[in-house]
Amino acid sequence: MKIKTAVYVKSAALASQFIEDNLYKIALVGRSNVGKSSFINSLVNRRKLAHTSSSPGKTQTANYYLINDLFYLVDLPGYGYAKRDKTTRAAFGKLIENYLLQFRPQAVMQLIDCRHDPTENDKMMYEWLTYHFYTPYILLTKADKISKNQMNKALKTAKEYFPDTPHPAILYSAQSGQGKEEVLRLLHSLTAANQSNES
pLDDT digits (tens, 9 = 90+) for 103-124: 999 999 999 999 999 999 999 9
SS3 content of the chain, % helix, strand, coil (to 5): 40, 20, 40
The answer to whether the beta carbons of residues 111 and 122 sit under 8 Å apart is no
Instruction: Give the start-to-end residue ranges of the domains of the chain.
Output: 6-198
d(CA 106, CA 70): 13
**What's the pLDDT band for 93 if we cut at 50, 70, 90?**
confident
Domain 6-198 = CATH 3.40.50.300: yes
The whole-model pTM stands at 0.90
d(CA 91, CA 155): 33
d(CA 152, CA 147): 9
How distant is the alpha carbon of residue 100 from its chain centre? 12
